[in-house]
Amino acid sequence: MNPKKVIFLDRDGTINRESADYIKSWEEFEFLPGSLEALARLTRKGYTLILITNQSAVGRGFVAQQTLDHTHSHMRAAVAEAGGRIEGVFFCPHRPDENCACRKPKPGLVRQACERYGIDPADSIMIGDSARDILCGRNAGCGMTILVRTGNGLEAEKALADQNAHPDVVTGDLLQAVAIIDDPFYLRKYFR
């Protein structure tokens, strides 16, 4: 693993379709168009991909942790079959009212991943579709944040503007984010 080429990724709304009723099983999981290709391209370019996701459906009793683990196992297998690799999955099972340290926008999950893999967050990129994702990346000290307009991206863009907490880059989807990451201008701008 190259600790200087790390991308933290949100799950629902970034890689797969968001659901107001939560993704409660692998059967409900649907990759967004282009996301498998994007993950494969990032993997081929030598990036380490780490999933950072709030999964309060566990804490709310809608999904058993074993079922969530099963979903993530199948997701990782599908990504691998497409030529990508998700190195690690870090999730927060808590409800928002539990005020834990790991629920995004708090940086706990990113910090756990950095500790486990020896990552300097300043050398990483956070990609997500919500204000929580971008704020998590900022709170963790990620070198770059990218908001994708899939999932909750349009609402997040407005919410972040209201907080004067703009992402570094806004793109239509994960595949367009890969094109930005490929652009040497952006890499020089955010990673010295």
Phi, psi of 147 (to 5 degrees): -95, 125
* Known catalytic residue at 123: no
Buried b (16+ CB within 10 A) or exposed e, 155-188: ebbebbeeeeeebbbbbebbbbbbebbeeeebee
Q: Spot the catalytic one: 12, 129, 168, 173.
A: 12
Token digits for 11? 């799950």
Q: Spot the catalytic one: 10, 129, 168, 173.
A: 10
| DSSP percent split of the chain into helix, strand, coil, nearest 5 | 45, 20, 40
Task: Specify the residue for token string 């999730």.
Answer: 91
Task: Please give the C-alpha separations between residue 47 and each of 103, 169, 178, in angstroms, as whole numbers.
Answer: 24, 18, 11
* Known catalytic residue at 69: no
Catalytic residues: 10, 12
